[in-house]
Amino acid sequence: MRILLSFFIVCALQASNLLTYNIYERTDRVDIMLSFDAPYEGKIYQKKDGQNRILTFEELYFDQSVQRTIQSSIIQALSIESSDNTTVVTLNGNEPFNVVASKTVDGFGLRIRARLDTPIQTEHPTQTKTTPSVAPPTFEQQKSADTALFDSRYWSVLIVLALMLLLLVWIKKRLNNNSSPLALGWSKKPANGVKILFQKPLDAQNKVVLLEYGSSQYLVLTGTSNTLLERFGSNKVQDENEFKALFEQNRQKLDEYLRLQQSQLNDYKEKASKDFIPS
C-alpha cells in the first residue's frame, strides 16, 4: 500500500498544473493561451469528432471545469475538463477548421490556434465549385514552419535593435526621472516618433513598457537591462486589458529572468573578489 501511494505521489510531482487560460479572437483565427505552473513536458493528442477538435494533455491537472461560448466565425464553444491526470480541451465550430498547438520556449505556456480550412482553388473556372479542403498540418510540420518564421523575425528584430539601442537608453533615463507619460511630453507630440502606450513595474528598478514606433509596437524590459521582449506588427495590443493579460502571462518568466541576471552578477562579483590578488 505504501509503495502504491509513493508511486502516485511521484506521478503528481512530475505533472504540471494548468493555472490560467486566455482567449484572443482575431478575424482569421482564434488563439487560446494556456499558462502552467511548471514547464509542461507531457504528450498532446489531437482528434476530430464531427465538428469538434479534441486535444488531450497527459500529465496535466486543472482544478476547474470550463464551458465558454465564443462569438467567432471560426469556433463557437470551448470546454476544458480534467480527470485521471489528464486535461481535455474541446473546441466546437460550425465550419471546418484546423487546430495547431505550440509550446513557448520555456515550456510555461502553450498556444492553441484555430483557423478555418482553406479550400483548394480549381484550375478551370468551368469545373464544379466544390473543392477539397487543405488537410490540417501535423504538429511537426507546424513546428518546422514556426522555426522558419522565427528565423526571419529574428533578423528583422536585430535590425530594429541596432536602430533603437540609443533610443532605449534615452527612454530608460527619462523613465527613471519621471514615470508619467505626460511628463515626458509624448501625449501630443511623441519624441522621435516613439509613444509609450502602457507600462507596468516589476520591482523598484525594472519596468515593462509597451512602445509604439511607426506601424509596430514593442514590448521592452527597462531598468537593470534594456531588453526587447516582443514585437507586434499586425497583432497589436488594443487596450490596457490586453496589456495586463500579456503582462500577467509573462510575469513568472520575467521574474526568473531578473533573478538569473542578479545571480550571474553576484557570481561575477564573488569570482572577481577571489581572483584579485593585491601586489
Domain boundaries, the chain: 14-119, 157-271
Going by DSSP bridges, is the β-strand pair 77-83/66-69 parallel, antiparallel, or unpaired?
antiparallel
* Of 174 and 20, more confident: 20
Which pairs count as long-range contacts for 196-200, CB under 8 Å and 24+ apart, including other chains?
196/171, 197/237, 197/243, 198/237, 198/240, 198/243, 199/175, 200/243, 200/244, 200/247
pLDDT reported for residue 41: 87
The Cβ of residue 249 has, within 10 Å, a number of other Cβ atoms equal to 18
Q: Helix or strand or coil: residue 255?
A: helix
Provide the grid cell at 143. Answer: 513546428
Nearest C-alpha neighbor of 46 from the set 92, 90, 107, 110: 90
pLDDT reported for residue 168: 77
The mean per-residue pLDDT over the stretch 115-119 comes to 76
pLDDT reported for residue 138: 64
- pLDDT score of 174 more than 80: no
- pLDDT score of 14 more than 70: no
pLDDT reported for residue 152: 73
Nearest C-alpha neighbor of 89 from the set 58, 119, 116, 122: 58
- pLDDT score of 180 more than 50: no
pLDDT reported for residue 100: 92
How far separated are the first and last CA of the chain, in Å rounded?
67
Q: Does domain 14-119 have CATH number 2.60.40.3470?
A: yes
* Of 134 and 188, more confident: 134
40-44, 178-182, 218-222, 234-238, range with the lowest pLDDT: 178-182
pLDDT reported for residue 185: 40
Q: What is the dihedral of CA 111, 195, 240, 62, to 10 degrees?
A: 20
- pLDDT score of 8 more than 80: no
Provide the grid cell at 51. Answer: 465538428
For the segment 31-60, what is each residue's pLDDT rounded down to a tens digit?
999 999 889 888 899 988 888 889 999 988
- pLDDT score of 11 more than 70: no
Q: Helix or strand or coil: residue 258?
A: helix
Helix (H) or strand (E) holding 254: helix 240-275
Mean pLDDT, the chain, rounded, equals 75
Provide the grid cell at 133. Answer: 479542403
pLDDT reported for residue 90: 93
pLDDT reported for residue 77: 92
Rg (CA), the chain: 23
For the segment 250-275, what is each residue's pLDDT rounded down to a tens digit?
777 777 777 777 776 666 666 656 65
Give the percent of the chain with pLDDT over 70: 70
Whether 86 and 60 have beta carbons less than 8 Å apart is answered as yes
pLDDT reported for residue 247: 79
The mean per-residue pLDDT over the stretch 241-253 comes to 80
